[in-house]
Structure 1
Amino acid sequence: MRCLFHGSNVEKYIRQIGLDQYLSGPYWSLVHRFSNNTQTHTIVDQSVEFRTESFTEFMRFQNLNHEQPVIKNLLCSIDSDDVFYDIGANVGTYTCFVAPKIDRGQIVSFEPEPHNAMRLQDNLDLNDFDSQIIRVALTDTNTTIDFALSGNETGEGEHAISLTDGEDTIKVEAARGDSIIDQRNLEVPTVLKIDVEGAELSTLRGFKKTIHEHARLVYVEVHPEKLPEFGGTVSEVRAFLEGAGFDVAEIPQKRSEVFLRASK
Structure 2
Amino acid sequence: MSIYSLIAEKLQYFSPSFYKERFFKKLKGLNRENILERRVEPELLWIKDYLSENDVYMDIGANVGAYLYQLENKLQHQNIYAFEPNQKLYKRLKRIFPAVYTLPLALSDENTFAEFKVPVMNGKKIHSRGTLQTKLREEGESASEIHKVKVTRLDDWAELEDFTRLNFIKIDVEGNELHTLRGAKKTLQKFKPTIMVEIEQRHHEEPGWNIISEVENWGFEAHYLDRNSFNLEKLTKNLIEAQNSENVKQYTEYINNIIFVPAK
TM-score (normalised: structure 1): 0.70
Map Cα deviations across residues 24-66 of structure 1 (whole Å, 9 max, x no partner): xxxx969857968623232558xxxxxxxxxxxxxxxxx9944
Match of 2:131 in 1: 160
Match of 2:118 in 1: 149
Q: Give the structure with the higher percent helix.
A: 1
Asked if the contact 1:43/1:72 (under 8 Å) is kept, the reply is no
Whether 1:243 and 2:217 are equivalent positions in the alignment is yes
Give how far 1:132 is off.
0.6
Match of 1:101 in 2: 74
| Structure 1 stretches lacking a partner, 5+ long | 1-27, 46-62
Whether 1:198 and 2:172 are equivalent positions in the alignment is no
Map Cα deviations across residues 176-231 of structure 1 (whole Å, 9 max, x no partner): 11011122344542200000001111111111011112133111111211122xxx
Whether 1:132 and 2:111 are equivalent positions in the alignment is no
Separation in structure 1 between the aligned mates of residue 107 and residue 46 of structure 2, nearest angstrom: 24
Whether 1:210 and 2:187 are equivalent positions in the alignment is yes
Separation in structure 1 between the aligned mates of residue 5 and residue 151 of structure 2, nearest angstrom: 35
Separation in structure 2 between the aligned mates of residue 64 and residue 159 of structure 1, nearest angstrom: 27
| Structure 2 stretches lacking a partner, 5+ long | 12-18, 137-142, 228-248
Separation in structure 2 between the aligned mates of residue 207 and residue 189 of structure 1, nearest angstrom: 12
DSSP-derived class of the 1:144 partner: strand
Match of 1:234 in 2: 208
**Letter paired with 1:107:** I
Match of 2:151 in 1: 174
Cα 1:33–1:94, aligned 2, differ >3 Å: closer, same or farther? same
Whether 1:123 and 2:92 are equivalent positions in the alignment is no
Give how far 1:93 is off.
1.0
Aligned residues: 213
Asked if the contact 2:108/2:154 (under 8 Å) is kept, the reply is yes
Give how far 1:160 is off.
0.4
| Alpha-carbon RMSD | 3.2
Whether 1:90 and 2:63 are equivalent positions in the alignment is yes
Match of 1:260 in 2: 258
Give how far 1:159 is off.
0.4
| Greater displacement, 67-76 / 248-257 | 248-257
Asked if the contact 2:82/2:103 (under 8 Å) is kept, the reply is yes
Give how far 1:239 is off.
1.1
Give how far 1:142 is off.
0.9
DSSP-derived class of the 1:150 partner: strand
Match of 2:139 in 1: none
Cα 1:226–1:155, aligned 2, differ >3 Å: closer, same or farther? closer
Task: Report the identity percentage.
Answer: 23
DSSP-derived class of the 1:122 partner: helix
Separation in structure 2 between the aligned mates of residue 154 and residue 107 of structure 1, nearest angstrom: 28
TM-score (normalised: structure 2): 0.70
